[in-house]
Amino acid sequence: MRRSPFALVLALASQMGQAAQGVPVVAAAASLLGTFFVGRADAAAISGPEVVESWLLPRYDTLLAEARANREAWQALCAAPSQAGIAGLKTRFGAVSDGWAAVEFITFGPVMLSLRADRMNLFPERRNAVARSIADLVADPTDERLHAERFPRLSAAAQGLPALERLLYDDGAAAALLSGPEAGRRCAIGLAIATNIEAIASEIRQGWGNRQDGLLAQLIAGKSDPVYFPDPSALMNQIVTDLAGAYQRVVDQRMLAVLGKTADDAKPLTADRRRSGRSKATIVAMIASADSLGTRLGEGLDPKGREALDKAFAAADAAAAKLPDDIGAATKTTQGRKALHDAITVFKAAQASVADPLASGLGVALGFNSLDGD
């Protein structure tokens, strides 16, 4: 039975109306609750495993490579502290941050296990949890919690990119890594976090495997997996659902939550990556990655559908590029708020295009992401 494009848009509007805080439900079965199905249109066949192999896994490869280089940079700094070493760490931080942003919206597969997404990037942060976790580790005179077998069991607030950002970008943090009574301890904490980030990226990538082994091989063979895909045919549904969720993450979590209803209600200090000055860069990376996924999926549509998608995604890329460099500061000015609202309109249009023509054209189910903070 085929649903109309209007029904698709209504369902997606419900998705976009969710509140701004929280993390998505990632289990495949849960993500399909409340979905609706559309009949397959006259579109070229496109394989979910092929999308994983050609689009997703290269991005996990990049994330792992950047995480490894970041860990090596921390090792080098701890061995020989220098201003040049700090500058190198900041460059590496940006590369890992962008690498994660490119895949953050993917909620299926090995990233589901062991709170890997939260441990990699706890966002939105609540009750200043990251600062408290770092202060607690700095004050601890022992190294027990920094050991690789113990560190992954600590609070997610201490483990990932937000914690590393504070060690590098908080006021006086860079200087404290080079000299003073806490320098050695802070460097050891940074190295523990960097090692943990690399381990998480490695676990995710290893879990996917290749065409011969791991989850990818199972999906290619059409075999079910009790943890990830009890129904392997649900893979394409999940891919399309997560694509829609990418734009929602940007709009709800990175923009609306910071904007508030008025300038007086704005919360500039909650902007993602504000300390490192990468609040815009994170959005650009996520939008670019989502647009590239949408374009890849759009290869299965007819020319009219592809043209509509290309237009929506090109507009989203352009809107991201035009964003103010400091998202938080922009929420406090009339011009800045207008720029943010203009971009939101474009991103929502790109999200709507995931429903129609993409989902309707491919004949797949579009599920509802749960970004309601419950």
Task: Specify whether the CB–CB gap between 116 and 200 falls below 8 A.
Answer: yes
The residue-averaged pLDDT of 235-250 equals 96
Lowest-confidence pick of 44-48, 175-179, 258-262, 287-291: 44-48
pLDDT at position 269 is 95
Q: How many helices (H) and strands (E) does the chain have?
A: 18, 0
The model carries a pTM of 0.88
DSSP 305-370: HHHHHHHHHHHHHHHHHTS-S-HHHHTTSHHHHHHHHHHHHHHHHHHHHIIIIIIHHHT--B----
Here the tokens at position 348 are 């929502």
Band of the pLDDT at 301, cuts 50, 70, 90? very high
Average pLDDT of the chain? 88
Q: What pLDDT, on a 0 to 100 scale, did the predictor assign at position 370? A: 52
pLDDT for 371: 59
Q: What is the mean pLDDT of residues 121-127?
A: 90
Helices 279-297 & 334-353 angle (0-180, nearest 10): 20
Looking at residue 369, what is its pLDDT? 65
> Cβ(259)–Cβ(271) under 8 Å?
no
pLDDT band at 39 (very low <50, low <70, confident <90, very high): very low
CA distance 161 to 254: 16
pLDDT given for residue 8 in this prediction: 43
| C-alpha 263 chain-centroid distance | 27
On whether the CB atoms of residues 342 and 282 are closer than 8 A, the answer is no
Element (H, E) at 168: helix 161-169
Lookup result for tokens 């939105």: 124
Q: Does residue 127 come out as left (phi exceeding 0), alpha (psi in the -120 to 50 range) or beta?
A: left
